[in-house]
Amino acid sequence: MANACKKPECRCEHIDCDYGWIYATFVTVEEKNTRKDGKILVQTEYEGVKFCPQCDPQRAHIQDTSSSAEELQRRLSERTPIKRAEIYEKQEASKTRIL
């Protein structure tokens, strides 16, 4: 069995999880131009990790629905308590008007 994530609400009975992370192989396919043959497809494989959907379903959903690494980073940083307080203050400030 893999290492449990040690969160009190998670039992980590799934096999692929290692402290809340799932190791994965990602594949990207890119079309490149060559001088002789025209266009070729280049397939690149790299190792990475994903958030475990059983241990942390919110972060796993954010990772699955983000279209780029920058969007993923922005959406995850918006979850921090400081950032949430800033967003709340901006929303409240836009509602309040001085007469």
pLDDT of residue 98: 64
Q: Which residues pair with 29 in a beta bridge?
A: 43
CA–CA gap between residue 71 and residue 87 (Å, rounded): 17
CA 16 to chain CA mean position, Å: 17
The yes-or-no verdict on residue 97 having pLDDT over 50 is: yes
For 7-50, the pLDDT digits (tens) are 666 666 666 777 788 888 888 888 887 777 778 888 899 898 88
> Global pTM?
0.62
**Proportion of the chain above pLDDT 70, given as a percent:** 81
